[in-house]
Chains A and B, each alone.
Chain A
Amino acid sequence: MRDRIPLSLAVSGLIVLHGICLFAGFLSPYDPTEQNRTLSFAAPARIHFFDNQGVFHLRPFVYNGNSTRVPLRFCVDAHLFGVAAPDRIFLLGSDDYGRDQLSRLLHGGRISLVGGWLATILSLGIGVVVGTFAGFRGGWVDEAMMRVAELFLALPWLYLLLAVRALLPLTVDPETTFLLVTATIGVIGWARPARLVRSAVLEAKERAYVQVARGFGAGSLHLVMRHILPETRSVVFTQAALLVPLYILAEVTLSFLGLGLGEPAPSWGNMLAPLRQYHVLTSFWWMVAPAFFLVPLCLCFQVCADALTKSNTPC
């Protein structure tokens, strides 16, 4: 049971991270697109309990520009915390347009996570359909499909992604861009799951009970749905744990390079994009905020993938 501890920690970590992004509207103090041009690149606010005279206050507060105390208010206007109107609180600083980094981080997480999951579902969907079809049918269909898969695997993944992305129109509205980017990432990644599913199907096809069921006159569709697809389940789950972080990072990479989701919608990738400017990188460390989510997220997914791989290989 002891080796289950990392797994359960990772799963609860994932639930917490997803939950935070799900409730971004409540947890973040501002609208992610709200600009304050006078407050660009504001440093992260410090929360104080003691004021300059060393007097303790029960209600935490921040100092504003004129070093007057601004007490925090909790659970007002459907936000977890905030400060009274003219002043602003930027717990993670603000970006070049003076937008709250925390709000952008949480709302962007929503987009990045949904994008990652959608792309994974798409990729696995294509992979399962193609892999099952190729593995079950065999013959020239199998041969042809696996050749195409090889072609996809033979190309450097990032180069392919960039080349395909480049042919899609760059200047469209954010929703279309989001769908386009997600679909591109998902479709390009179909080859690996397809091959893995195919080998699982090939193995399952030779199982005695499948042969018996076939002997009793079970049709192809019934065989696939009832006996063969369940055998591919472990492959699919392991792949999902590997692909979701990969695809989230793919979106981050694309947006970072300026080919992904555009402004003003926040995503972790385009939040990192200002870092390509040298002065931003050296002076405003809080612009790496998405890393605070990306690293634990990838770690949790990786622990899950490791545990799944281990439980699938009998030793």
Chain B
Amino acid sequence: MLKSFLLRRLQHTLLLLTLVSMGSFLLLELAPGDFLTETTLNPRISPQTLASLRDRFGLTKSLPERYFYWVRSAAQGEFGISFAYDMPVRALIWPRMLSTLLLTATSLGLAWMIALPLGVWAAARQGSWPDRLLVLSTSGFLSIPELVFACGILIIAAKTQWLRMGGLPLAVCVLTPVSLPLLLRHIRAGVLTASGATYVRAARAHGVSEMRLWFRHVLPAASHPLISLFGLSVAGLLSSSLLVEVVVGWPGLGPLFLEAVGARDFYVVTGVVSLSAIFLAAGTLLADMLLYFCDPRIRMN
């Protein structure tokens, strides 16, 4: 049962990846010019050198040939070469990916750690003034664009010498509040929906303490939407921080991708896009698995 489900999902993911890589190849093929277009303008580089470079990068080959080269290279774990850095894409992307993951995982963990108790707490006091304040500030925060927020934090940091904290704390300071309001909102709504059930009233009538009531009885019942939300968070691990990385100057995948897009560094773009698609697929898969293990109702059918 689980096995066939997993197999189907794996098939789906593979198909998706194939389509994604083909799509990005096609898009970049349609684009005018290639990596060496700008170099052609340099009078000090002879046409012979250019031709040999083109040949070496494999830019003279046809599209299917290049695609198959890439697939073979991806199967060997190299994902093609970067023209700008003249090294295998994997070696280029790997450290960048780790630093992006460091940033996003930290801020995501923080956001969940803050949002979960706060959301339950607000739901338990629905309608009281702290709850209303929280709801209001959540909506307020949701409408501050990421870019503006990042710039604002940087300006404050520069004025108060917080900048000495260094890159990671600063980037986390930006990314955590950006992802927090959405989490808070969904957790509060999910818990509120679950708290309406009759067994919650029964548990309360039995004299279960409020703490136990909310965290032991209501929260597991609200787990369904929360697990999906968690899956979404995991899915965005690689792709949610591009803008923040660029603004704060964090050496993650974001700046690399932007640079590669600008320079038409073909295989790097494809590699980054495929990688983030893998993460997106993995996130939803993780959510499904978690649901499967946590919710007996799903296991039954």
Contacts and interface: CB of A to CB of B under 8 A. Distances in A.
Interface string A138-169: 00000000000011001110111011111111
A303 interface: yes
Interface residues of B, number: 43
Nearest to A153: B280
Contact of B281 (A154, A245, A252, A282): A154
A281 B155 contact: yes
Interface stretch (A72-80, A123-131, A220-228, A291-299): A291-299
Contacts of B264: 166
Given A155-B277, A155-B280, A167 B27 contact: yes
A154 B280 contact: yes
A158 B239 contact: yes
Given A167-B30, A298-B143, A156 B16 contact: no
B16 A169 contact: no
B166 interface: no
B17 to A, nearest CB: 9
A33 interface: no
Interface string B266-289: 000100110011001100000000
A275 B147 CA distance: 10
B154 interface: yes
Contacts of A276: 246-247
A162 B40 CA distance: 25
A288 B155 contact: yes
B276 A303 contact: no
Interface residues of A, number: 41
A306 B28 CA distance: 39
Nearest to A150: B16
A288 B148 contact: yes
Contacts of B142: 302
Interface in A214-271: 245, 249, 252-253, 256-259
Main secondary structure of the interface of B (DSSP, over half): helix
A162 B269 CA distance: 10
Contact of A169 (B32, B139, B243, B280): B32
A306 B155 contact: no
A301 to B, nearest CB: 8
Contact of B31 (A167, A259, A288, A294): A167
Contacts of A294: 145, 148
Residue among B20, B23, B155 with the highest chain A CB neighbour number at 10 A: B155
Contact of A299 (B27, B32, B143, B147): B143
A162 B280 contact: no
A227 B32 CA distance: 46
Contacts of A275: 151, 247
Given A154-B281, A257-B246, A288 B28 contact: no
B20 A159 contact: no
Contacts of B239: 156, 158-159
Interface string B95-135: 00000000000000000000000000000000000000000
26 contacts: A150-B16, A151-B16, A151-B20, A154-B20, A154-B277, A154-B280, A156-B273, A164-B27, A166-B28, A166-B264, A166-B269, A167-B30, A245-B143, A249-B145, A252-B145, A253-B243, A281-B151, A281-B155, A282-B158, A288-B151, A288-B152, A291-B145, A291-B152, A294-B145, A299-B139, A302-B143
Interface of B: 16, 19-20, 23-24, 27-28, 30-32, 139-140, 142-145, 147-148, 151-152, 154-155, 158-159, 236, 238-239, 242-243, 246-247, 257-258, 261-262, 264, 269, 272-273, 276-277, 280-281
Interface of A: 150-151, 154-156, 158-160, 162-169, 245, 249, 252-253, 256-259, 272, 275-276, 281-282, 285, 288, 290-291, 294-295, 298-299, 301-303, 306
